[in-house]
Amino acid sequence: MIGLALVGLLVGPHSVSPSDTLRVLGAMIMGHTDFTGSDAVISAVRVPRVLVALLVGAGLGVAGAAMQGVCRNPLAEPGITGVSSGAAAAAVILIVTGVASAHWLVLPLGAFLGALAAVTIVHTCGALTGSISSLLLVGIALSAFLGAIINAVVANASDAEDARSAMFWLNGSLVGRTMNDVAISFIPLLIGVAVVLWFARDLNLLSLGDATAVTSGMNVGRTKQWIMAGAALATGAGVAITGVISFVGLVVPHLIRLIWGSDHRFLLPASAILGGIFLLAADTVARLLFYPIVLQTGTVTAFIGAPFLLVLVLKQARKGLS
């Protein structure tokens, strides 16, 4: 992770030496903020982008591992709870109406509140039914409903540039991230990840089945709600500043299970580290693969994640037939 972060700071269209990069990093750690020229490229462009990739990737990785553990479904991932769609709908409305241009804080805050609203709806319905299966179905239905709202808003946008900005945001990008974005996302991501990590042992019990968990004295319904809430908070905080980035929470936990097993005491922190690595690598590829054409980070993760999802679906279907 550290090595890839250094690569992300060094590579790019503007050449910067390793010594200058380390010097600027040291100055930033000491609290200096006044940089010019190539130093500003490092401090204002590359450092925030690398930090955002690591933070959001870690949050999505942990959220994916948690949701798969709670649902005992290898296809579960953060977007299935409607979090991404809630954030996207709020952000698109703010962009198209022009409200987002009022202040830099409006867009991430609005997206975050949209994510929380979606989570509240899904979890309320899940609590009323007491079923995780119904919670997932409500999440899928809500995502479809919010997707229709997004399409209607974009299609009727009066300004073509606003519509373009909304569509660009929907596919997830780390372009133009600043230290303000890092500051906004850090605390919610930390809280969400900490909540999920707190329930690592409980996730191990849940993986054995609800009946086994109940005989161990666990309040299964309340525990699942806490875990899903933490995962949703981590996801919403990330989506609020990068837009919708899919498949990180699907791919990363599976890779760790294949190599190291399913003990959530290891799986969750490992998902945080590998999630950061995965998203940072995807963003680096997005910046450099077809330079000067820059891909969106969400496009690269989709190129990797979509075939991975197809393989998982076919694997599940084969198990069902056997």
The CATH number fitting domain 2-315, selected from 1.10.3470.10, 3.30.410.40, 2.60.40.10, 3.40.1180.10: 1.10.3470.10
| Average pLDDT of the chain, as a whole number | 84
Least confident among 76-80, 128-132, 213-217: 128-132
Cβ of 2: how many Cβ atoms within 10 Å? 7
Where do the structural domains in the chain lie, given as residue ranges? 2-315
The separation between CA 298 and the C-alpha centre of its own chain, rounded to angstroms, equals 10
Cβ of 253: how many Cβ atoms within 10 Å? 30
DSSP letter for 293, please.
B
pLDDT of residue 272: 95
pLDDT in tens, 11-50: 877 777 888 888 888 888 887 777 877 788 888 888 999 9
Q: Would you say residue 104 has pLDDT above 80?
A: no
Could you give the percent of the chain with pLDDT greater than 70? 96
Task: Look up the pTM and report it.
Answer: 0.86
pLDDT in tens, 215-246: 888 888 888 888 888 888 888 888 888 888 88
pLDDT band at 286 (very low <50, low <70, confident <90, very high): confident
Where does the chain have alpha helices with state H?
2-10, 18-29, 38-40, 47-71, 83-97, 106-129, 132-155, 160-170, 179-198, 200-206, 210-215, 220-242, 248-260, 264-288, 297-321
H helix and E strand count, the chain: 15, 0
pLDDT of residue 203: 92
The structure tokens listed for 67 are 């949701």
CA distances, 99 to each of 80, 91, 103, 108, 319 (Å) = 28, 10, 8, 12, 50
